[in-house]
Amino acid sequence: MGYLFGAVLRGAVNARTSALDSLVFGVDVQSGDIRGDAPSYALVAFDGEHIDRDVVSFRKLRRLVSREKPAIVATDNMYELAEDKESLVRFLRSLPEETKLVQVTGAERPEPLSRVASRHGVPYGKNPMKEAEAAARLAAANVGYEVAAFTNTTTVKVSRGRSTGKGGWSQDRYTRRIHGNVRNAARKVESKLKEAGLEYERDVTEKYGGYANATFTVRARPGDIPVSSRRSGDTRIEIEPVRRDGIEFEPLAKRRDHVLVGIDPGTTTAAAVVDLEGTVLDMYSSRTADTAGVIEWLIERGRPIVVAADVTPMPETVEKFRRSFDAAGWEPTSDLLVDEKLHRTRNAEYDNDHERDAMAAALFAYDAHEDQFERIGRKVPPQFDREEVIARVVAGGESVEAVLSDLAEDDEPEEESEEHGPRELTEEEKRVRRLETQVDRLEGHVEDLKETLREKDERIEEYKRELSDARREERRKARERREVNRLERENGRLKRELDAERERVDELESKLARLKTLWKLDHSNFSDVAEGRGLVPVKVIDQFTRGAIERADENYGLAPGDVVYLRDASGAGRSTAELLAETEPRVVLRDGGLSDVADEVLFEREVPVGPAADVTIQEVDELAVAREREIEGVIDDWETRARERRREQKVDMVDQIISEHRAGEGRSD
């Protein structure tokens, strides 16, 4: 493991693993078995950017963990590191304070590692080294459960460091001295606990001359206690975390309230979070964030039970987010229109259209589930968590009754075990106790002889800690260097955007100059200009379709009194003609013939229509102009035709009325 376990650890974690400190170990059995004599392990060290691989023995694995203090030791099966629960507890006790054991495949009922890796987009292979790498990457992405055997309560026991021996006057003085030293050490420990402001309970066994032992039960983790385990002469201090009743699992991802999420994928990925009351909690958009970055942002804001899209079918990217959270999916029956999204998000603020689309998807998903939420809420008794029931019904597909039954079983108190009083020891047990006391006394003498050796070992460990601190400092500096590089790249990107905007300004200024030139060329007769009979702007629509009209409106706006030019006037239906008529144009110039339906709609709305060939239209890029006098001529021609058309319609109507009247008289005869 020369790269990560050499003199200096270069590199550091990325954004996904920064919350996990600096280093993750992935472990898988390479050969042998923990129940055998000499198992070997595939070990992958992952710092969020670099990967190093090696095959190590169990002893070397523990030494590396103790020395490097990784944030996580990740495995797909915790019993690859311990043969049974007691061995697992001992292994957890041996881990550094800042190191967690994580089972990435789940809690009590783990899934296959291949399935978990596939769900989270992590590379996977069947050989042990690939499995170890997959475990490391999954844990770095906050996937998996921490294996916990200890509570946040710690016992600090101060006791005798050597046996008091048998009676005699000098022995009594020796015993009194030991008990007095135990009492003094206990008082120093208690003073440090008070100075640290820690809550604790004390249990003291008083003996001749002082204390035989004193036990402090402190409500804190071992690393938070300002006392260390040691043995020095007459006293011994032992620090042990309090064990749980069994092995428990705690998810790495600390999710809070249940929420609905809207996702708008693309070059810019946007996400919006809505709570179960329909309130928008937060929005997010980024051009650079990857899927893992968006997932981390969502995890920090809640636990998604519905992931929604604004189009149908649901895009594959949105489907990946849904699978990552095991959430229900929602998609509209047809793509949401811009007007619908604008109306639904009218009361919220957003920075761009991507955030608006993501928020609209989440709000429409809430609208679709609102009645279901209310029905579920009415069925949930007050003692149960309403949101938890809703989440399991909506995302898990369970029935309300099944969820309530399951929660009720979890809340049932366990039967209290019977307690028995102490029984009297047999002669054999008394003899065993005496022998154990003698062994303790002999072990005390051995410990005194080994004290010098321990001091040397402690000095070596101190040097190792200093080396580890130096490595951590180097990793911190490497993170700072990468941050500087990132800011420099961002500065370069902003400069490129500024250059692009300047080029656009130059292009627009050039276009303005061409328009001024065109205006001067077509207004040589300034008397016409003074009379308001110069050039008028013409807004061009390529085809007589809804899409083309909406694009023109979006590009340069369609307002009442505009002169509109249809390059291709054929094929329009009633709704398209009504959409154009709603803009109230001054006149519509057309190339090609109108459909009968479109002609009828525009005539009824009194929108003048004339052939574009009667007008001289000059175009500059997407802009166009025409002479005012020619426009007025087209309008006058249309009004003449319109009067004739109305007269003919009246004649036809009168003829029809007379025909109907005569037909009625014939029937009466």
Enclosing H/E stretch for 32 = none
The predicted structure's pLDDT at residue 15: 34
User: How far apart (Å, rounded) are the C-alpha atoms in residues 484 and 477?
Assistant: 11
Strand 24-31 to 72-75 pairing: parallel
Q: Give me 548's structure tokens.
A: 């083309």
Where does 208-321 show beta strands of DSSP type E?
A: 210-218, 230-232, 235-251, 258-264, 269-275, 280-286, 303-308
Three-class SS of residue 138?
A: helix
- The answer on pLDDT for 534 being more than 80 is no
- The answer on pLDDT for 432 being more than 90 is no
- The answer on pLDDT for 514 being more than 90 is no
Concatenate the DSSP letters of all residues of 333-374 into one string. Answer: SSPPPHHHHHHHTTTS--SSHHHHHHHHHHHHHHHHHHHHHH
* CATH number of the domain located at residue range(s) 258-409 in this protein: 3.30.420.10
Residues in the chain: 669
User: How far apart (Å, rounded) are the C-alpha atoms in residues 531 and 519?
Assistant: 16
Ranges of each domain in the chain: 18-143, 150-244, 258-409, 463-521, 532-655
> Which residue from 580, 546, 539, 581 is spatially nearest to 563, judged by alpha carbons?
539
Q: Are 111 and 134 in contact (CB under 8 A)?
A: no
Q: Are 65 and 45 in contact (CB under 8 A)?
A: no
Q: Give me 652's structure tokens.
A: 């036809």
User: How far apart (Å, rounded) are the C-alpha atoms in residues 481 and 10?
Assistant: 11
User: How far apart (Å, rounded) are the C-alpha atoms in residues 546 and 471?
Assistant: 65
- The answer on pLDDT for 81 being more than 70 is yes
450-456 contacts: CB < 8 A, separation 24 or more?
451/231, 454/231
| First and final C-alpha spacing in the chain | 114
Q: Which alpha helices (H) appear in 275-337, and where do they start and end?
A: 291-299, 316-325
The predicted structure's pLDDT at residue 528: 47
Tell me phi and psi for residue 609, to 5 degrees.
Answer: -135, 135
pLDDT tens digit sequence for 401-416: 888 887 776 554 433 3
pTM of the model: 0.40
Q: What's the CATH fold of domain 150-244?
A: Alpha-Beta Plaits (3.30.70)
Q: Are 69 and 76 in contact (CB under 8 A)?
A: no
pLDDT band at 654 (very low <50, low <70, confident <90, very high): confident
Q: Report which residue type is found at 589.
A: L
Tell me phi and psi for residue 46, to 5 degrees.
Answer: -130, 125
In terms of average pLDDT, the best of 1-10, 139-148, 262-271 is 262-271
Q: Are 590 and 494 in contact (CB under 8 A)?
A: no
The predicted structure's pLDDT at residue 215: 93
Q: Are 198 and 218 in contact (CB under 8 A)?
A: yes
Q: Give me 499's structure tokens.
A: 């250059």
